[in-house]
Amino acid sequence: MANKILWDAKPTDAIIMAAASGPLKNLDPAGIAVSSEVTNGTALNTMGSFQLYVHDFDAAPAAGGYFSLHIVYQMDGTLYTDGETGDVADPNLSAATEMGIFPVLASDEPQLIPLINVPLAPFDFKVCIVNNTSQPIVDSDGATLTFYPYSAEVQ
């Protein structure tokens, strides 16, 4: 009989989006940034935490602004279930894909925002970030999205 739940290991971080040359660079309001593929179909992690770092906005966002995080799975091993063509080039995101939000302060100062304990399915996926703030991320910004995958071990 199980009597203890432990972390199987300390999560190893992986930057899955960056602004330097990637999808977060100059992300406009209502814009969508799409990550590279995360291979959870072999890793089989059950949970993940995400950390969004935004170094700067063009100006301070309005109060109540946020970035939403969506996960689009590749359930059949070939197509991403984005509701459209399955390529996630122009994803059709919905409440079914939204996994959480990164609320931002009404400030153009650097912000480091966590999203903890997001449940993961045993499929490869891509992460989409939607800018629901009133400001774009600065073009030369050092914004990143870091992913920390993990599972629990029952003993």
CATH at residue 74: 2.60.120
Q: Which amino acid is at 59?
A: A
User: Count of domains in the chain?
Assistant: 1
Is 5 a member of any domain? no
> Would 155 be classed as within a structural domain?
no
pLDDT of residue 123: 96
| pLDDT computed for residue 148 by the predictor | 96
Residue 4 lies in a domain: no
Residue 123 CB partners (closer than 8 Å, separation 6+) = 40, 41, 73, 74, 75
pLDDT in tens, 18-50: 876 678 888 899 999 999 899 999 989 999 999
Distance (Å) of CA 144 to CA 28, 74, 124, 150: 15, 23, 20, 20
* Residue 37 belongs to a domain: yes
Residue 48 to residues 26, 29, 88, Cα–Cα distance (Å): 26, 26, 21
| Domain span at 110 | 14-149
pLDDT of 141 reads 66
For residue 2, being part of any structural domain is answered with no
Length of the chain: 155
Q: Is residue 65 part of a domain?
A: yes
pLDDT digits (tens, 9 = 90+) for 87-144: 888 888 999 999 999 999 999 889 999 999 999 999 999 999 999 999 998 876 678 9
Which DSSP state fits 145? E
| 112, 53 Cβ separation under 8 angstroms | yes
Q: Which residues of 28-42 are buried (b: 16+ CB within 10 A; e: fewer)?
A: ebeebbbbeebebbe
Distance, in Å, from the CA atom of 102 to the CA atom of 68, rounded to the nearest integer, reads 6
Is residue 89 one of the residues assigned to a domain? yes
**Does some domain include residue 8?**
no
